[in-house]
Every structure is written in structure tokens, then in C-alpha cells.
Chain A
Amino acid sequence: MIKYPLRVTILCVGVGLIALGCFIALAIVEGFPDLVAIAVLSALALYAGNRAVDFPDGTKFSAGFMIEAAAVVAFTAAGSLLGSLIVGMFCGLSIANLRDRDWRRVSFNVGNFGLATLAAAVVFALFPSSWMNSPPLLIAAAILLTAVFFVVNDGLVAVVLSMMTGEPVASTAREMASSTFQSLPFAILGVFLGRLYLDVGVVIVPLFVVPIFVAREIFASYVALKRSHDDTVRILIGALETKDKYTAGHAERVAMFANYIGLELGLAPKRLERLRLAALMHDVGKLVVPNHLLNKPGRLTEAEFAQVRLHESVSAEILTRIDFLAPVAPSALSEYTRFSPVADEKGQPIEPHIVAVADAFDAMTSTRSYRKALSQSTAFRELRENAGKQFHPRVVDALIVAIEIRHEEYGAGHEAQVHDFAVEPPAAGLGSAGLGDLLAEESGRDSDSPEVTAT
């Protein structure tokens, strides 16, 4: 259970009490509005508020605001502010918080949503009623309602959050503001639901909410299945890491660097997702390489070497079998990812080159069985020297820019994992034995220049 500072407790209870006070005052002054409308809209608000979809990027999306906007329009036009307050309070009532007996949160959320909706209703009551007959003016009203609602709602949340974290209210509020506009489509639909409710009655409600809730459920199953897919890919990575402990975290880091490069090059979200999975899975083929070869301390024989090299074609074969990843399957082949200006002009996909650079950078900045990690500046130099020869120059530039603007540091002295060695490997250079250097030698043979190749 979270420990709340005293002033947070006071604020939470206070918000709840103010909402309760408004409820009592309005009930006395104006009486209860249409009970069917209250029951239907409150039930929907409760349902929608508790069935938010968690997006993979951490934001939440709920249709609750649509119901609140509908309530504001329908009840205000019927001369009731109380209806909006009640529906708002139900929208803020979280079943999870009730189950946890987190009463401060319950009080704060119920009060906050109720008061924000009430504020929107008060503003809406100031509009001339002729607005109701003009769709463009109703849309304008929806924008205003959204603004009022979020000034109150986000404002109060920002105050509480800044009390908890100690960060200034303004910056917390600014962070929240971006998600506000995502709710605007719901607000627009909501005002029209409210208007049609007035004209047509309660039958309009199911017609309105069913498509939205279907979309919501299907989207939620998409998000859930995406998570299980990620889990499955992670199984693979876990298996790879048990085979070769020096590569712990390698796949995840390659995916991260690939994402940096992809963002820098302005790839579309779909391509970024494809790139991420390709980067995670680029070494999958290593699963078929026997453990003793992966961890062999000395030199590999020709036959053993051939067996190890097989992993690239196995990885490519596996990626090819997944339609979504098939276009970037060559990411796993070191021959393909060598930069060639001719191929570049032909408009071949850039993803394999991104994976190659991310892979090489992480290999250089991590400790391997045959050498210690290089420093970041050495790794950058290697990449720059081989740009246009082994690596795609635009990709190399993008990686360096992306890491520099983030002020991040990888390589010697900045590794996530500390390795203990019986015999310390050499601190610099490519070392003398092991898989990586054999691959480096192999690729060096055709270009006459010493190069770095990731394993």
C-alpha cells in the first residue's frame, strides 16, 4: 500500500467532500433529474471508466469521457446540473481502488471527475440553446467542454502528483496535456449522443455505445495478443542467453539501438515495430549452434566455423516464415548487410543495415569471452571508419547522433553487467581467439581491411 503524505490525504478527502457538498446542494435546489437517464448514463460511465485500454506505450484510453460529454449536453438542456455531477462521479469510481480499500483514491477520483464534469456543465449552460441545432456549433462546444474538463481534472491530478513526487505542478500538468487531445473525438461523439438522447430517447444509447465498445474489446484483445507475442519472442532471447552468457541483454540492446536509429531516420510506426522484432530475433539461429562451440575459448576449426556460420541462414529462414518480418529477413545475413552503394540506390530496405550497425555497436561496447568492452569513442571511430564500406553511412550517422542527443554512454566502464574472469581477457583490440574475431577475419579477407563484425 502506498504511503500518502498528510496533505495529500487532506486534499483527497477535501475533493471528495466538495463534490458531496455540491451533490447535496444541487439535490436540494433543483431536485433529481430523469431517473432513467441517470441510471443508464451512470451505469455506462461506471463501465467505461473501469474498462480503459492500456496502450503499449503506457497511456490509457477510456470511452468514459464520451458518456460524460453526453451527460453534460442531455442534462444541462433539461435544466439539471446534478445529472452531470452524478455521471461524472460514477465515471471516476474505480472498482480496483474499491477492492484495494484505497479510500483516499476513491474519494479523490470520484470527487475530481464529478467536479470536472460539473464545471463543464456550468460552462455549457452559458451557451445559447440555439447551439443545439447546429452541428458545427456543437462540435465547437465539445472542444470547449474538453478544455474546461481537463483544466479542472488535470489541474487537480497535477497538484496531487506534484505533492507526491515533489516536481513542480506546471511541468506535471504539461506532461498530461498531450493526452487530453486524444479524448477530443470522444467528446465530439458524446455531445451528439447527448443531443440525440434528448430528441430520440434512451433507445439511441445502445446504438451508440455498442460499436464503440466492440472497437474497444477488439483493440484490447489486439493489445493482449501483442503482449503474448512479445513474451514468446522473449522466450527465444532467454534461451539464447542461457547458451551464451556473454550475450545477456544483447538482443534487447540491439533492439533499443535499432529503435534509436529508426526514430532518427523517421521510420513509420509499422516499420519501427518490424525493425524492433527483427532486431530482437536477428540471432535466433544461434539456438541451433551447439553450446560448446559458442563458448569455445580457443580457435574454431574450419568445420566448426562453418557450423557456427550456419546460424545466420537459420535466423533468416525463421524470419522469412513470419510474413510480418519477411521483408527484413536479410537482417540476419552479414553478407547482405554489407553496405553497397549500388544496392542502396535500388531502394532495398534499410532495416537490415540498421540491425547490422546496432549489432556491431553493441558487440563492440560489450565484454565478450575473448576481449573486454571497447570504449564508446573507439566504437564510434570504428563505425565511422567503416561507414560506406561495411556499414551504411546514413545509419552510422543516425546512431551516433541519436546516442549523443540522449547524452548516453555505453562501452568500457558503462556496462550493465560486470563479468568475472579467471584469466582477464585483453583490454583493447579485437583479441586473438573466439568467434567474433574469426568472423572479423573472414570478412576481412574479402576487403583487405581490418573490420569489426558482430557475432
Chain B
Amino acid sequence: MSQIQRTIATASVITVGLACFAVGTGLASTTFTIAVLAAAMLVGELLELRPPERAAVPLSYAVVLMLLRAASPGEFLVAVIAVELGAFVLRPAPNVATRAELFAQRIIAAAVALGLYQLVISVADSQSKQIVLGALALAGIGELLVDEVVFSLQTRRLDLSWRGRSGELALVTSGMLMAVGYAGLEGKGGIGLWALLLFSVPLLAAWYSFERLAVIRRTYTQTLQALSIVPELGGLVREGHAERVAVLALEMGRDLSLDPRELEYLEAASLLHHLGHVCLDDPSVLGRPVDPSEVAQASAAMLRQAQFLAPAAELLSPDPLPFGGGSRSQTSVSGQVLRVASAFDELSEGGDARSLDGAVEVLYSGPGYVYDPRVLAALERVLERRSLVPAAL
């Protein structure tokens, strides 16, 4: 068990123990309740929902909403600062600067939540069902917005779409549920700290699912990458070919605005487009020519065995028909991208600027006008962009 796991386990046991003690003895004074919630928040600080391609959000954001209902503004701030000091010490982040940044970020998020909640309540001057629910929702969104702003400042990328936000949705609704369950609405339905014990369960289940998903995603990508180097280890293809083709093909695919699904298949097909080589009866070694259509066919046959990769197999066209006329319908854009990327990588062996230009020229003037000019244009745009950022090469 790692250090962080031990910390989380200890803090969880303390939280649950305190909560059980409180609900068991009926000793649920405000101070005590706040102490339990603070302990729960500390656990939540260390557990993060990590949705793919989104910023991680701590589970403590849900507990914050509950704390808003349980504590006065003063108590709220004291509790939050205490929890964040604890998290500052316990957090597994590598250096003090990162910890300090997170400390500030969390305090601001909690302050924003408190501000929004109090604002709505005082402006409306009522504790009716709609007002309380609206205030809680706004407070939850406010916390997430703070994270969103920090994330887009860090990555210099602003993505406000709904895609991939299911984790955040679960976080806010869970927090609202815990808050409503704690004190009820309009004086009815409160079950006190039971709300924390019971309603954190679905959120923890979501957290667990995200963790499992993250592990399997990483493993899956790495398995594809590991497979992609098999022909290289066997000396059949130049080192790094598959990886370079995959990177280039993805850039071209994005340039041609393929959808995420297609990009996924394009990546898999690019990584594995030479895999079939190893199954050929007498695979030739590097330098001796081998029939490329035979390789493509063998690779496609392998990919077709896996249900998930079958669409990727279709990108590996068995016979490189010249582009134009009838062949247009037979080879998809993704397939063309893969062929261009692979041919380019083989031609631009040296990698310096002159050989890159030479490679593009060869592709344009290829025998029988083989490649789709739109895809070649995408290649040129990608190369141009790369030359602007030399580090990317």
C-alpha cells in the first residue's frame, strides 16, 4: 500500500467513525458536525475524479456544498482553511510550489462557492426549495469554473463544450444531494450526517469507475504502441516508423477535421499498419523489398479479428489504387491520410528540411497521381506548422 493510500484509508476510517459516533449518540452539535465534514473534505481532497481529457476535480467539492448548509460563513471559512492546510501537508504533489498553487486554488473555489450561495440566499431573502437548490447549484458550478479558468490558463486551451463533463455533473448533483439530505428543504427531510454516509456512495462509485477507466485506457494505448514496435524489433521496419506515422497521421486527421472516432481508428491503424509483416511466410529484412499490398492485407486481416479494431482494418487498403476516378470511393479520407503519412515517412528518411520538401514533391508527382491532393495539402499545412515550431519535430 502506498503512502497516499494509507493516508486516504486512515482519514476515511476517522470520518466514518466520527460520523457513526455522531449519529449513534445523537451528539450532533454543530462543531462536531463541522469536524466530521472537514475530515470528509480532507479525504475528498486526496481523491480526484479524473475524466479523460479533462482537468481532474477533487471530490471535496461535493462536501463543500454540504458544509455550506451545515456551517455559518465564518465556520465555513475556518473549516476550509484548516482542511486545505491539512491537504497541503498530505498531498502527494511533488513540490511546494504546486501544493501552494493548489492551496490557493481550492481556497478561492470555496470562497466563490460561499459567495455565490450567500448572494443568492440574501438577494432572494428566502430559504424556499427553489432558492436553496438554485444557490447550491450555482455554488457548485462556481467551484468548477475556478478550476476551469486555472486549467485553461495552464493549457492555454479553452474548451467549454459539454463533452466529457459527466464527472463534473455527478460531482455537483452529489454535493447538492448531500446538502439537501443534511438539512432537508423548507425544514423537511433532513437526515443529518447520514446524508454524508449514504450519498457519498454513488460518488465514490463514480470515482472508482473513472479510476478503472483511466487505467484501462492507458493500458490499451500502450498495448497498441507496444504492438507497433514489433516489426521494428524484428528488423523489418525502420525504428520509430509506426510512432512517427501515427503522430503525423493524427495531425493531418485533425487538420482535415475528422471526428474523434475516426481519429481513434486512424491512430490504431497507423500504429499497426506494418504488424502483418511479421506473419508473412518469409518476411524480408530491412532493405529488401516486400510487396506492400501483401503487408497491408496481412495487417488488415489481423485487425479484423478484433471487433473494436475492425473499422481500423478498413483503412489499410489492400491494393494501392491510383487516386482519382473509381478509386475515390474505395479509399476513405482516413485511409488516404494513413497512406500519405506512411509514404512520407519512408521518403523523408533524413528528416532535414530539404529531404522533407523532396519527399512532398515525390508524393505530388508520384507515378499515376497516386495520392489525394486534399490530403497532400493537409500534409503540407502540418509540415509548415511544424517548421514554425521547430521543437515539435
Contact = CB atoms under 8 A, between A and B. Distances in A.
Interface of A: 135, 185, 188-189, 192, 195-196, 198-201, 203-204, 206-208, 210-212, 214-215, 217-219, 221-222, 225-229, 231-236, 238-239, 242-243, 284-285, 287-292, 314, 317-319, 321-325
Of B217, B219, B281, most buried by chain A (CB within 10 Å of CB) is: B219
B227 interface: yes
A321 B209 contact: no
Interface in B262-321: 275, 278-279, 281-283, 302-303, 305-309
Contacts of A210: 169-170, 173
Given A204-B177, A239-B275, A215 B213 contact: no
Secondary structure type dominating chain A contacts: helix
Nearest to B214: A222
Given A235-B303, A285-B233, 5 more contacts: A218-B209, A227-B307, A289-B234, A314-B234, A321-B222
Given A207-B177, A222-B216, A225-B217, A215 B170 contact: yes
B219 A211 contact: no
Q: How large is the interface on B (under 10, 10 to 19, 20 to 34, 35 or more residues)?
A: 35 or more
A238 B302 contact: yes
Q: Which of A219, A232, A319, A323 has the most CB of B within 10 A?
A: A232
Contact of A204 (B166, B170, B180, B212): B180
Interface stretch (B78-86, B181-189, B362-370): B181-189
Nearest to B281: A291
A238 B174 CA distance: 46
A271 to B, nearest CB: 14
A207 B227 contact: no
Interface in B97-147: 129, 133
- The secondary-structure label for the interface of chain B is helix
Interface of B: 23, 129, 133, 166-167, 169-170, 173-174, 176-177, 180-181, 184-185, 188-189, 191, 194, 198-199, 201-203, 205-206, 208-210, 212-213, 215-220, 222-227, 229-231, 233-236, 275, 278-279, 281-283, 302-303, 305-309
A321 B198 CA distance: 41
B174 A211 contact: yes
Nearest to B225: A321
Contact of B206 (A218, A235, A242): A218
A233 B223 CA distance: 8
Contacts of A198: 189
Contacts of B283: 290-291
A288 B201 contact: no
B307 A199 contact: no
A323 B234 contact: no
A243 B230 CA distance: 14
Contact of A318 (B189, B229, B308): B229
B381 to A, nearest CB: 32
